[in-house]
């Protein structure tokens, strides 16, 4: 339980404050409760199942291209089509999320991946293989982007690092399972294309689990019980406490609240100072500031709506409001948790257009290029790890099977040690966590040319896996931490595009270095990139204590849509029953961009 500050000295005994720091055991218990009990059906199972489809994407395209007699250059072109469409569709999917909602986009991408798998099952020409590459790139890229936005919205900042690292770790396990399934299909079914049946089945199961999580009342009740703990604990001091969080009390005074069903707290949208309506003393006593200690990154926690069974007018004074208000204050965490379990409907009126996307670039340009440079460099280091390990094995005259075993051995360490990266981010801070992964990769690249025996290569592969695990989930966490509070979905799309560019830049850079300078020079260049990335992460990337940039253009776009919504609401109240309570506003009255079209079901 946590205390709520009441404005104007309202008579209510504040709850006990949480300690400044919490034991590591409590931290892990709370986080795993949120992860594996609250969002197993709508986050973790779909994440792993779709990861299986993603893991067989490139190998099966390579095998099918070779069967059709395509050259290595043509096969590389097919593989690049997948990456190209992922990159091109990141920003459009960010915009689509604003209109359709996160879960709707996840449903759409899962269905598209099922269609892509069925197309792949019938591949018999270059045209059908190209169609599979396009559909697969679009569906998988859109799903992973929507998943990132959804998880960023339902996670508090204190536990986000471990949450993101576990997502990445489960995805790594999926990349271990996928190739095994591909090999079994090739061995026992006689045709590698039957692995598309596994891909379609995995996406279908993910579709079903997401549907259950969306419409099952029982599942939402389980989530409400388990999420409450992690949300209530998020008011404790964290290594990431920033100036913006310290100043959040100035913003919180513009969050209006009322009482809904059984005295439960009902939060209304964020209003600018000029739009705050006059309130009576009894109304002021019910204003609760429950967001002063927790910055809602994408606002999924801000949408709390309940329909009261009786009338609550602005000027209605209840003699027992003090007792009810204390109960409402104590139940606010539970009500906030209920707001996390979002429906699929857009349920919002948007004022988003391409000018708003331009405003996102302008207002957040400093964050985009400073954080984006680190993301590009870190992504290039990680992507080239696989390529250079393969080249090192070939230099040592290892067979194809031995190189495959070497790669698998390296990724086992990623899959086993993935929580370490989350612990570093949450307990020691994001700024510190950016250093070990890039420095470690740089050091391993430096010694890789000296590894000539099989034992030395296995030691290098294990070192790659260990140091890469130190940064598991860090890119997703850094992006979520620095997302704007309004219209953040396009920001996620922009940063995802930047991340995908890291793959392209890294691949092209290694190709050029290998052609003109050789293997040793390529490894040593990546060593320099690793050390530069660490320095840039400390001094160039926006720090944990740095306040997010002002976003007047995004705020203006959100304000216009909000004013339009309020005018409609006032018109509806005047034309209908005069006693219609504003405290019972539906989920459609949320601030644009705060819930991404995923309003709670009334």
Please give the residue that has the higher pLDDT: either 208 or 314. Answer: 208
Pairing of strands 255-259, 265-270: antiparallel
The answer on 435 and 452 residing in a single domain is yes
- Position with higher pLDDT, 287 vs 512: 512
Q: What is the pLDDT of residues 316-345, one digit of tens each?
A: 444 444 444 434 444 443 343 334 444 434
Do residues 240 and 429 make contact, with C-beta atoms less than 8 angstroms apart?
Answer: yes
Overall average pLDDT of the 337-365 stretch:
59
403 with 307, same domain: the answer is: no
Cα–Cα–Cα angle for 140, 141, 143, rounded to 5 degrees: 65
Contacts of residue 244, Cβ cutoff 8 Å, sequence gap at least 6? 295, 547, 548
> Which has the higher per-residue pLDDT, 427 or 449?
449
Lowest-confidence range among 287-291, 375-379, 503-507, 521-525? 287-291
| 59 in the same domain as 12 | no
**pLDDT tier at 400, thresholds 50, 70, 90:** low
Residue 235 and residue 324 in one domain = yes
Domain range for 59 is 39-215
pLDDT band at 113 (very low <50, low <70, confident <90, very high): very high
Task: Give the pTM.
Answer: 0.68
Report, as an integer, the average pLDDT of 519-548: 88
Q: Classify each residue of 375-400 as buried b or exposed e, where b means 16 or more C-beta atoms within 10 Å of its C-beta.
A: bbbbbbbbbbbeebbbbbbeebebee
* 314 and 304 co-located in one domain: yes
Q: Give residue 139's pLDDT.
A: 94
Residue 27: inside a domain: no
Task: Based on the fold, state whether residues 166 and 122 are members of the same structural domain.
Answer: yes
Q: Which residue has the higher pLDDT, 23 or 180?
A: 180
31 domain residue, yes or no: no
Q: Which of 239-248, 314-323, 509-518 reaches the highest mean pLDDT?
A: 509-518
6 phi and psi angles, rounded to 5 deg: -100, 135
In a domain, 34, yes or no: no
Q: State the average pLDDT for the chain.
A: 71
Q: How confident is the model at residue 279 (pLDDT cuts 50, 70, 90)?
A: very low
CA distance 555 to 572: 25
Asked if 247 and 378 sit in the same domain, the reply is no
Query: Per the domain annotation, does 290 fall within a domain?
Result: yes
* 30 belongs to a structural domain: no
Domain match, 317 and 386 both: no
* 166 plus 286 within the same structural domain: no
Q: Where does a domain end: 190, 215, 240?
A: 215
Number of domains in the chain: 3
515 is a domain residue: yes
**Residue at 600 is within a domain:** no
Residue 311 predicted with pLDDT over 70: no
pLDDT tens digits for 565-597?
777 777 776 665 544 444 444 444 444 443 433
Tell me: do 177 and 258 sit in the same domain: no
Point out the domain boundary residue: 196, 215, 234.
Answer: 215
Min mean pLDDT across 42-46, 300-304, 372-376, 592-596 is at 300-304
State the pLDDT at residue 415: 83
Q: Do 316 and 372 belong to one domain?
A: no
What pLDDT is recorded for position 251? Answer: 37
Q: Which of these ranges, 88-97, 103-112, 371-380, has the smallest mean pLDDT?
A: 88-97
Question: Which of 240-244, 286-290, 556-560 has the highest average model confidence (pLDDT)?
Answer: 556-560
Question: Residue 287: inside a domain, yes or no?
Answer: yes
pLDDT at 537 over 80: yes
Q: CA 446, CA 142: separation in Å to the nearest integer?
A: 36
Same domain, 365 and 485: yes
Q: What is the pLDDT of residues 122-137, one digit of tens each?
A: 888 889 999 999 999 9
Residue 461's CATH number: 1.20.1250.20
Other C-beta atoms closer than 10 Å to the C-beta of 124 total 11
Mean pLDDT of all residues in 197-222: 85
């Amino acid at each position: 339980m946590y205390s709520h500050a009441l404005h104007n000295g309202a008579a209510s005994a504040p709850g006990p404050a949480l300690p400044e720091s919490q034991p590591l055991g409590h931290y892990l218990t709370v986080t795993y409760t949120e992860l594996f009990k609250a969002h197993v059906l709508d986050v973790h199972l779909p994440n792993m199942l779709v990861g299986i489809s993603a893991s067989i994407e490139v190998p099966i395209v390579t095998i099918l291209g070779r069967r059709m007699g395509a050259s290595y250059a043509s096969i590389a072109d097919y593989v690049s089509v997948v990456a190209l469409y992922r990159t091109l569709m990141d920003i459009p999917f960010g915009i689509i999320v604003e209109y359709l909602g996160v879960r709707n986009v996840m449903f759409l991408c899962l269905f598209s991946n099922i269609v892509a798998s069925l197309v792949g099952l019938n591949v018999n020409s270059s045209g059908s293989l190209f169609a599979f590459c396009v559909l697969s790139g679009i569906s998988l890229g859109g799903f992973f982007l929507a998943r990132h936005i959804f998880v960023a919205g339902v996670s508090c900042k204190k536990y986000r690092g471990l949450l993101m690292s576990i997502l990445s770790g489960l995805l790594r396990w999926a990349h271990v399972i996928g190739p095994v399934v591909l090999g079994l299909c090739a061995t026992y079914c006689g045709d590698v294309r039957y692995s598309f049946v596994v891909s379609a089945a995995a996406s279908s199961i993910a579709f079903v689990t997401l549907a259950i999580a969306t419409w099952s009342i029982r599942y939402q009740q389980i989530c409400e019980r388990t999420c409450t703990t992690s949300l209530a604990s998020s008011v404790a001091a964290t290594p990431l406490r920033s100036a913006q969080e310290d100043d959040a009390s100035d913003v919180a005074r513009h969050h209006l609240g009322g009482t809904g069903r059984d005295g439960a707290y009902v939060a209304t949208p964020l209003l600018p100072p000029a739009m705050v309506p006059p309130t009576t003393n009894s109304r002021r006593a019910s204003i609760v500031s429950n967001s002063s200690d927790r910055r809602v990154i994408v606002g999924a926690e801000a949408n709390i709506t309940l329909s009261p069974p009786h009338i609550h007018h602005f000027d209605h004074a209840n003699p027992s409001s003090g007792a009810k208000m204390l109960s409402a204050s104590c139940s606010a965490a539970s009500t906030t948790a209920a707001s996390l379990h979002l429906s699929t409907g857009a349920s919002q009126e948007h004022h988003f257009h391409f000018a708003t996307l331009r405003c996102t670039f302008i207002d957040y340009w400093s964050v985009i290029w400073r954080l984006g440079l680190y993301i590009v460099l870190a992504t290039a280091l990680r992507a080239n790890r696989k390529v250079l390990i393969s080249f090192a094995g070939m230099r040592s005259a290892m067979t194809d099977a031995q190189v495959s075993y070497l790669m698998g051995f390296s990724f086992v360490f990623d899959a086993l040690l993935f929580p370490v990266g989350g612990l570093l981010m949450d307990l020691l801070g994001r700024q510190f966590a950016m250093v070990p992964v890039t420095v470690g990769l740089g050091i391993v690249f430096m010694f890789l040319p000296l590894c000539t025996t099989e034992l030395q290569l296995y030691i290098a592969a294990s070192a790659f896996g260990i140091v890469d695990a130190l940064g598991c989930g860090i890119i997703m966490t850094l992006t979520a931490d620095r997302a704007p509070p309004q219209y953040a979905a396009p920001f996620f799309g922009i940063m995802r595009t930047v991340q995908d560019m890291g793959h392209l830049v890294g691949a092209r850079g290694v190709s050029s270095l290998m052609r003109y300078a050789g293997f040793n020079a390529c490894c040593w260049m990546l060593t320099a990139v690793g050390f530069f990335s660490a320095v840039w992460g400390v001094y160039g990337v926006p720090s944990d204590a740095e306040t997010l940039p002002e976003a007047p253009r995004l705020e203006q776009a959100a304000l216009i849509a909000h004013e339009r919504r309020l005018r409609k609401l006032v018109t509806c109240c005047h034309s209908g029953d005069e006693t219609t309570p504003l405290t019972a506003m539906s989920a459609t009255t949320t601030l644009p961009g705060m819930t991404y079209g995923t309003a709670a079901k009334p």
